[in-house]
Amino acid sequence: MFGVVPKSMWEKWNIPDEKNMCNWAMRCMLVEDEGRLILIDNGMGNKQSEKFFGYYFLNGDDTLEKSLAKYGFSKDDITDVFLTHLHFDHCGGSIEKDGEKLIPAFKNATYWSNEKHWQWATQPNDREKASFLKENILPIKESGRLKFIEVRERIEFSKNIHLRFVNGHTESMMLPQIKYKDKTIVYMADLLPSVAHIPIPYIMAYDTRPLDTLVEKKTFLSEAHQNNYILFFEHDPEIECCNLQLTEKGIRSNETFKLDEISNY
């Protein structure tokens, strides 16, 4: 998760167990926007084999269904499923099993990807193909519910959600920038999986183009600091959000807080 950074430096952020594994979140976001109920990413899902889940030691009792129910919703209420990218830990919940059939888990939703990333995921390179599982991806298109977003520098997904595209982690990953009142919240996906990844050299070994990630991080962090963006972390085990400050070591996290505390920042 931290690439070339030595364990002696990164372990202060996320203490590993005896197998050298760290605990991570799969934190999605639900956005109500002009009559749409938009779900950003959806975790691993539950349709994979016991052997598959045995590699990842899932723990805790959080589920997407329970989180939706907390706010009075069910999966059938979702109008749009926005997929930052198609690695299994971001899109595995898109599809569920109905007997032997693979069907959309969100039966009333449109699923959003982009054509560049879709081609990358459905014709995967040898390094990434273990993350692009056909059972998570192909049934979306077969259902007729897939739509593609045009890939360009900045694009509007809805009135209050604009997108930026980055290519270091994987081809054409999409990061939603959400306007909420007078603030901008950026869903970081795997550009910055956690607070610990804010320092520039902290780049995952999973990234296909780590030098591109480095440039993308520097560009984004400068913009985010200047404009006081709020960063929302998909994988940080503890911290949901932070804003940024400039220190003698460069841009670092400032206040950390939960999304429901956002009105205070």
Task: Domains for the chain: give ranges and CATH numbers.
Answer: 7-264 (3.60.15.10)
Contact 81, 109 (CB under 8 A): yes
Residue 154: the pLDDT is: 81
Using alpha carbons, list the distances in angstroms from residue 5 to 156, 169, 212, 247: 36, 17, 17, 20
The pTM is what? 0.96
Which residues of the chain fall short of a pLDDT of 70? 263, 265
- List of E strands, 26-138: 29-33, 36-40, 80-82, 95-98, 101-104, 110-113
Residue 47: the pLDDT is: 93
Element (H, E) at 214: helix 210-226
